[in-house]
Amino acid sequence: MGGALQARSSGPVKLRVRGELACFTRPELKVERVSYEVITPSAARALFACVLWKPQIRWEIREIAVLNAIQWASFRRNEVNSAMSPRTGELIADEDRAQRNTVALRDVDYVITAGFTLTEEPNDDCNVPKYLNMFRDRLKRGQHYRAPYLGCREFEARIEEAPEAFECAEAKFGVQRSLGQMFYDFEWTDESDRDLTKGPARPLFFEARLVSGVLRVPPRSEVIAMNSRHG
């Protein structure tokens, strides 16, 4: 295998995720938490990374199918105003508490399609078939690197294998509608940050459109080019 020309990108793989509550906060609403209507590609990517995270691969979301009708739940909850101090590692919550409104999604059910690209040259230890098998095995066994959640850590996500056949709630009506500008992910200045969690970054957005209950996500390169054109 080592001497043959090997692929650097996988074909599509799917998972199903469900949860009682979800909140994928719109960044333009600073004080109150108001969710997008559909899970963002960034949050979806994090679910795939919960099943299989390796520094040698980068997940990219291709499609999100919304199985349940979009429903809302509004409630108030206690939050803190400040982040934990990096110097002391302390945060006195009782002295920094605030009550904020949350507009969340309820009873969400998605089938998400993604693929991954190798971040280094393939070889016998780093290749697409190996990581595809690892992902499928871990998904089947319900194994996670960290607990999956839907936007907020208290909103538990249940990840499972996607069914072969499914129907979106809006498919029967043939609804096509715009979801507006949706957060896609971050673009990191230092692409050597394989964990995609550190360093300078800029947010990327794309024009999201739900067609018969399916959100098709453009490739990362296309989103970056589009954001560069619009400053």
In a domain, 21, yes or no: yes
In a domain, 226, yes or no: no
**Residue 13 in contact with residue 156, Cβ under 8 Å?**
no
* CB neighbour list of residue 79: distance below 8 Å, 6 or more residues apart: 97, 98, 99, 100
pLDDT, tens only, 175-210: 899 999 999 999 876 554 444 455 568 899 999 999
pLDDT, tens only, 23-73: 999 998 867 889 999 999 999 999 999 999 999 999 999 999 999 999 999
For residues 50 and 32, what is the distance between their CA atoms, to the nearest angstrom? 27
Domain count, the chain: 1
Q: What is the CATH number of the domain that holds 22?
A: 3.30.70.2660
Identify the domain containing residue 21 by its residue range. 13-79+97-174
In a domain, 116, yes or no: yes
In a domain, 180, yes or no: no
Nearest Cα to Cα of residue 218 among 174, 144, 209: 209
In a domain, 19, yes or no: yes
Nearest Cα to Cα of residue 119 among 10, 21, 222, 194: 194
3-state secondary structure the chain: CCCCCCCCECCCEEEEEEEEEECCECCCCCCCEEECCCCCHHHHHHHHHHHCCCCCEEEEEEEEEECCCCCEEEEEEEEECCCCCCCCCCCCHHHCEEEEEEEEEEEEEEEEEEEEEECCCCCCCCCHHHHHHHHHHHHHHCCCCCCCEECEEEEECEEECCCCCCCCCCHHHCCEEEEEEEEEEEEECCCCCCCCCCCCEEEEEEEEEEECCEEECCCHHHHHHHHHHCC
Strands 149-150 and 57-66, bridge-based pairing: unpaired
In a domain, 105, yes or no: yes
Nearest Cα to Cα of residue 215 among 187, 180, 165: 180
In a domain, 143, yes or no: yes
pLDDT, tens only, 97-146: 667 899 999 999 999 999 999 999 999 889 999 999 999 999 999 999 99
pLDDT-based confidence at residue 91 (cuts at 50, 70, 90): very low
In a domain, 208, yes or no: no
